[in-house]
Structure formats: C-alpha cells, structure tokens
Amino acid sequence: MWDYTDKVMDHFKNPRNVGAIPDADGTGQVGSLVCGDALKLTIKVNKDTDVIEDAKFETFGCASAIASSSILTEMVKGKTIAEASKITNQDIADALGTLPAEKMHCSVMGMEALEAAVKSYRQGGKPVVFEQEEEKIICHCFNVSEETIIKAIRANHLKTVDDVTHFTKAGGGCGRCKGDIQKILDKVNGACEIPAAATQKTFAQMTVVEKIKTIERVLEEDVRPKLNMDGGSAELADLDGNTVKIRLTGMCSGCAGAAGTLKNFIEKTLKEKVDSSLSVEQA
C-alpha cells in the first residue's frame, strides 16, 4: 500500500469541489480512460478582476489523482488567472505534504488541466483538451512526447528512468522506450548537448505557463533589482496575448514617472530579453 500523508487521505476520502460548473468560464481536460487517468477542471472567473471565484473537478483515477485534483481547486480559488498559471506540479504535491514518487504524475495531470482551463478562459470559454505538442512520441503506450519528458526532467530535476516514469508515465507500459528515455536524460543532464530544435521555443510557441515563467524570470533578474534601489518594485498582474500588465508597487506606485518606467524601462527590457512583440500596460 502507498505511504500517503494524512492530507492526501483527507482529500481522497473527503474531496472538495467535486462536480462541474454549468456556466464555466474555462474548462480544461487532460488524460483519457484508456491510459487510466482523466481529469476535467472547470473554473468561474470574475471578468472584471480576473480572479477565479470557483473551481470544480471531475476525475477518474487513484487516490493521488483525486487528492491532487481536490487540493488544486482550493489552491486556485481567490487567485487571479496570472497567479494560478504559476502553479506547478511540485506546488500541488507540496500542498499535499508529499506524494509517493510513483504517483507524481497525478500532480502533473493537475497542472496540465489547469493550463488547459486557463487557455479555455483566454479563448472565450470553449473547452480545451490538453494535448501533447506535435513532437516525437517516445512512449507510445501512454502517448508521451520527447518535449514532455524534457520539460519534466528540467522542472523536477529528474535523474533516472524510474523518475521519468513516476512523473510522466513514460516507460510504464511495455518498457521498450526506456533506452530512449535514458538518452534524453543524458542529454538534459549534461552528457551531451540537446539539439536546439528540441529545446528552444519562440515566445509564440510557449504555453501560457511557460510565457508567464519567462516574464517572471526577467522581472526578477533584470527589473526588480533596479526598482528596489529606489524603494519600488513591480509584479506581473496579467498576460493577455502579447500585452503584459504590470502593477507597480512601493515608491513606484505613486511616482510621477510611472509611465516612463513602464515603457522606457520595463517594456524595453521585456522586448530585449523575451520577445520584441511584447507591450506593457499598467494594471
């Protein structure tokens, strides 16, 4: 029997927010009954503030899948779409105390369903099914692509084939792909270089989560340190297409030169470091 934390067992036995929101503003689906796990996440969003006011889930899966889905609905409530988009599979696992290594793929499924629900909201509410990008499929038993494996290795610092299987299910069927998984591990962890085509994406090719993380990294490394010197700061409030909405805080919030800070410094930095198509607006 799996060694589950009390919190996992609580959310498994007493799942929160089960069901579907009839008039959902965003619907994300991931997985399939064929592969053994499936999750549907629906969210209700205040369109004036972008705050998620309600979230419900329907899932077919094990105790970890139910617990991960249940706690995810609690985690997103009260957060803006931009804030919720930053939630990772590790955040979900941490909120549960931990998950058995063999069950980490359940937290990944939650992250993917959330990403699909956010995309659905951005596109007007039409349900979105999380799908693998059109990349080379490594594990045909569970339809796991090379790109998905690379992302899981990097995000979760995976070191072994078993680690990859726990997080993505790749290699958990017939096992014939384990040699290919090991080659990918060797590439990502420094044994040899990863082909640029497999690792580099343009801003337009990134998922919403990847875009937000990229922008956040630039804000953290290149923007906030300079603003902090004058007692100010900036935070990402929203991302709408190529429009980045920034909330100025501290001394910057009431500064007469706020407009110049946004355009001449923050926008210029994001154009240089991320993508030239980006524009910045004050939130």
CA angle at residue 180 from 111 to 129, to 5 degrees?
30
List the catalytic residue out of 35, 62, 141, 255. Answer: 35
Note if 106 is an active site residue: yes
CA angle at residue 209 from 246 to 220, to 5 degrees?
45
Note if 35 is an active site residue: yes
List the catalytic residue out of 106, 139, 177, 252. Answer: 106
Radius of gyration of the chain (CA): 20
> Backbone phi, then psi, for 239, in 5-degree steps?
-135, 115
What's the N-to-C CA distance of the chain in angstroms?
Answer: 49
List the one residue out of 278, 268, 203, 269 whose CA is nearest residue 244: 278
The DSSP call for residue 80 is B
Strand ranges inside the chain, DSSP E: 26-32, 37-46, 51-60, 128-129, 137-139, 144-145, 232-240, 243-250, 279-282
CA angle at residue 44 from 41 to 49, to 5 degrees?
130
- Catalytic positions: 35, 106
